[in-house]
Amino acid sequence: WLDGGAQYQSSRPLLRNIGLRLRRLGVFCYVTNECLSDASALESWLPKAAAKEIAWAINQAVVNGLGGGRPLGIMNSNSRVTVSAVSGQGATTVVLQNVLDMYARIPVSLRPSLVWLYNPGIEQSLFRLQTASGQSATNFLQPDPNKRGGWLLMNAPALPIEACPAPGTEGDIIAFA
């Protein structure tokens, strides 16, 4: 902000060079001679099995990655923000106040890109979300009309990810934007 008649001061941004090194993620699979002899069965099974394993490895890296030549996961990031459990909350549960506290920490500008990741072990808690007066919080958790079997939590996709830490531990539900 400048006063009337004031001159702009020139400046140069400080930039740093970073290097990105591409790495591959692969799947190694043993195949019996019997499977090799039935090429059509192998051709239909192997790509699906490999894709599932790659998806599992990517999910693990996104959530728990240690860095050092591999992805740095959410749980090991210095930018991770946590919210405290609510007084009187069950040890392995998620209550509506947890979700509201997490949502409140997300900058408004990032909310359109919000995705919830959660350990499948807390699904029962999510399905039972209630307001403080005991009323069902159905307007917070709704079926995703664009994804069969999917959910929206606070109008953002909610995805069960086995890589999320166990119920009752930090990261059992993650708001990612």
What DSSP assignment string belongs to 15-72?
------------------HHHHH-HHHHHHHHHHHHHHHHHHHHHHHHHH-B-SSSPB
- Helix (H/G/I), strand (E/B), else coil: 143: strand
Quote the pLDDT of residue 16.
87
> What is the pTM (predicted TM-score) of this model?
0.80
Low-confidence ranges of the chain (pLDDT < 50): none
Residue 3 to residue 110: CA distance in whole angstroms: 33
**Tens of pLDDT, residues 73-119:** 999 999 888 888 888 888 888 888 999 999 999 999 999 999 999 99
Quote the pLDDT of residue 86.
87
* C-alpha 41: how far from chain center: 34
Residue 18 to residue 37: CA distance in whole angstroms: 48
Residue 151 to residue 138: CA distance in whole angstroms: 11
- Using only C-alpha atoms, the chain has a radius of gyration, in whole angstroms, of 23
Those residues with Cβ within 8 angstroms of residue 168's Cβ, 6 or more apart along the chain or in another chain: 91, 92, 93
Quote the pLDDT of residue 87.
87
